[in-house]
Structure 1
Amino acid sequence: MLNDLNVKVGPQFYRYSEGAIDSIPELLQEHAASRILIMHGGISWEKAKPFLTKVMNLDKEIIYEQYNGECSYNEGYRIAEIIKKNNVDFVIGVGGGKLSDVVLYASHLTNTQFGLIPTLASNCAPWAPLSVMYKDNGLAEGKSEHVKRQAAFLVTDPALVIDSPVNYFIAGIADTLAKWYESDLILEQEKFRDEPFPQMARFAARMCKEKVLKESEKAIKDMKAQNISDEFIHISEIIFAIAGLVGGLGDKYARNTAAHAIHDAISAYLPEVHDYLHGEKVAYGIFYQLALEKKWATIDELIPFYESLHLPKSLTEMGVYPMSESTLKNIIQLINSKKKVHLLPVQINKETLTTALIDLENYINK
């Protein structure tokens, strides 16, 4: 029996379909929202506004505020001050993953209800009960967990999501693929095989892997053609919803391990990778984790998929390897400090973590 499992299923209400955003006024009424703050991005906001006509025309006080582009503690505090100063009782976040995360964090600080309208499918941030935190300069700074808080709604329209950058969609595909490889060794252990919620998490993670490998290339092709196909719907929905269920149902045993840990480490110590999207760095992280587990055959199986989506397979391909010995030590030390990495049933120490990094570079570059 697991006594330390925090199950966070997801938003109170979810809908992803044509015209779904028109249901938000009714949802706001259900939550007695009267003073609303709409946090938004830049380009994504211009694309989203035509879908929000019914929301923007509500007979309620609505404040509009553009966020600064980073999910940082400072930005969270800034938004929290806006909420408190204007007696806001409901926040709506319209944008991508970082915006979703900073809205979650600011709503946590002020104990305010919030809903999310993703404008792209690049990660599971709109669903997951945590905020990935960055410094104001974009370098990684950890995360803030909120298992006791959830969105009042996650609602969006595929016609809005499909009109977003394809590279973000591909990054979301990679981030979603990681859900299986990061939880596989943990959840296959005997102690989890009769545990209902971890096994539900494992089922969701397997769906992430199988759907991504089967339907992603068609979904990307359809996105480029602006064709809202079944494959595009399936993959985008899996990216921001089903992927979030993995960690929501399995908690720390299914959330993320080495692939995300090395994402955090290179994001913290290698400013040169800042131009790579979260999911692109996690894609490399999947290969790093498989190298740590010595699953070279699995890497071989994934290489054609990676190459078809132009995902990075090594730090060399990202232009940051070789690196100085001090930088390598800092990266390894940060990975080793993550408790989640030590949940893997393999030997984890500075030596094995370093060996995996070097061995992967040699393997990919041979």
Structure 2
Amino acid sequence: MNKIMISPGRYVQGAGALNDIGKHVANLGTKALVLGGKRGIDAIKSLLEASFKEHQVDYVVELFGGECSRPEIDRIVAISKQNNIDIIIGVGGGKALDTAKASAHFAKIPVAIVPTIAATDAPCSALSVIYTPEGVFDSYLVLPKNPDLVLVDTAIIAQAPARLFVSGMGDALATWFEADACAKAFAGNLPGGLSTSAALCLAKLCYDILIEYGLRAKLALEQGVATEAVEKVVEANTLLSGLGFESSGLAAAHAVHNGFTVLEETHHAYHGEKVSFGTLVQLVLENRTTAEMEEVLSFCKSVGLPITLKEIGIANVTPAKIRQVAEATCAPDETVHNQPFTVSADTVYAAIIAADAIGSTYLKQD
């Protein structure tokens, strides 16, 4: 199997980066459909209008329906065709961005991504996570290419709720451990190859930045400012995590996240918050060292990432619920099977229960 690494066509990051969006988009199209939630659109509307006017890019705005589902994707494709759109611009968080990527793929036009939060590694990837209209995980849609443009304005990111930023760190936290598992198992990555050394290094760099700068970045975000620590963690959450997971592979942590989506009581928890707990479950499955476990637990506790089932919404833990999650985690096409050993619903069930006990004990420590 060949080694394959993929990446976005262009990545732009910095405070005030949106001032240049018209210049970058004009290289890709002249009539844009801007897709996003009301909060995301409102955060960038004035900057978008001024830059597009300067660079003669026409655009229409369409509000995101709330779930990256097949009906929503079909709706956006139809609107794009009706309005002769030649580029889709996704604005906001992970589900809106995934919808923009999928819609552009089916409409056969370029896509630009403008995250207004650093809550997931969705912006850079050639992947859309498809849910049912009710919010239950459905499938992964692997796209033939990454976004043509990813533009991250850290001044906008700094104004978003800190919880979203922390959720992004939870998503990024899994990157190195999943990449390492896939490399050990010689498991295929998303483009259908093996990981390159560069992709593994980026995944490890992602983890190292989180541990070193994560708490400082969170504290700055809580004050609404973008420091150099924020810049580093935004890059980790968005670029490094995106490149790391996509070109190295996913394993248990994200599969556990997908398993949790079958429980409605977890739906209020953000993607990265559930992935954070999934990372702890993966560490238990792999029987990682005490030092590794404590480093992850300490980091999560310091920034406010969940390390117990209660923290992701499961207040009443029953064997039936956790068995349901474990069975969904081990579905035949799930990424948990990229672990370098055989995984079953029984071992996942045990790891979830043990991870919850470990996290609960850690939270009780002074």
Map of 2:44 onto structure 1: 48
Paired residues for 1:29-108 under 5 Å: 29-31=26-28, 33-57=29-53, 59-108=56-105
Q: Distance in 2 between matches of 1:108 and 1:199?
A: 29
SS of equivalent to 1:37: strand
Q: Distance in 1 between matches of 2:38 and 2:219?
A: 26
Q: How many residues align?
A: 354
CA RMSD of superposed structures (Å): 2.3
Map of 2:202 onto structure 1: 204
Q: Distance in 1 between matches of 2:357 and 2:195?
A: 39
1:52-91 residue CA offsets vs partner (Å, 9 max, x unmatched)? 2333425444211111122111111110110111121111
Question: For structure 1, which segment, 353-362 or 173-182, has the greater mean C-alpha deviation from structure 2 after superposition?
Answer: 353-362
Paired residues for 1:256-271 under 5 Å: 256-267=250-261, 269-271=262-264
Are 2:307 and 1:310 aligned?
no
Are 2:6 and 1:12 aligned?
no
Are 2:124 and 1:127 aligned?
yes
- Over the matched positions of the two proteins, sequence identity in percent amounts to 26
Unaligned stretches of 5+ residues in structure 2: 362-366
Q: Distance in 2 between matches of 1:109 and 1:126?
A: 18
Q: Distance in 1 between matches of 2:255 and 2:267?
A: 16
Question: For structure 1, which segment, 74-83 or 314-323, has the greater mean C-alpha deviation from structure 2 after superposition?
Answer: 314-323
Question: For structure 1, which segment, 13-22 or 278-287, has the greater mean C-alpha deviation from structure 2 after superposition?
Answer: 13-22
**TM (normalized to structure 2)?**
0.90
C-alpha displacement of 1:103:
0.2
User: Residues 120, 318 of structure 1: CA spacing in aligned structure 2 closer, same or farther, 3 A cutoff?
Assistant: closer
Q: Distance in 1 between matches of 2:138 and 2:185?
A: 31
**TM (normalized to structure 1)?**
0.90
Map of 1:153 onto structure 2: 149
Do the aligned residues in 1 keep the contact of 2:167 with 2:272 (CA within 8 Å)? yes
SS of equivalent to 2:197: helix
User: Residues 161, 23 of structure 1: CA spacing in aligned structure 2 closer, same or farther, 3 A cutoff?
Assistant: same
Alignment match of 1:255 (pick from 237, 240, 249): 249
Q: Distance in 2 between matches of 1:196 and 1:82?
A: 38
Alignment match of 1:299 (pick from 287, 293, 297): 293
C-alpha displacement of 1:126:
0.7
Residue identity matched to 1:127: C
C-alpha displacement of 1:233:
0.6
Alignment match of 1:284 (pick from 261, 277, 285): 277
1:112-141 residue CA offsets vs partner (Å, 9 max, x unmatched)? 111111111111111011011222222222
Q: Distance in 2 between matches of 1:75 and 1:281?
A: 24
Do the aligned residues in 2 keep the contact of 1:187 with 1:198 (CA within 8 Å)? no
Paired residues for 1:189-268 under 5 Å: 197-248=195-246, 250=247, 254-267=248-261
Q: Distance in 1 between matches of 2:18 and 2:358?
A: 47
User: Residues 42, 331 of structure 1: CA spacing in aligned structure 2 closer, same or farther, 3 A cutoff?
Assistant: same
Map of 1:354 onto structure 2: 349
Map of 1:272 onto structure 2: 265
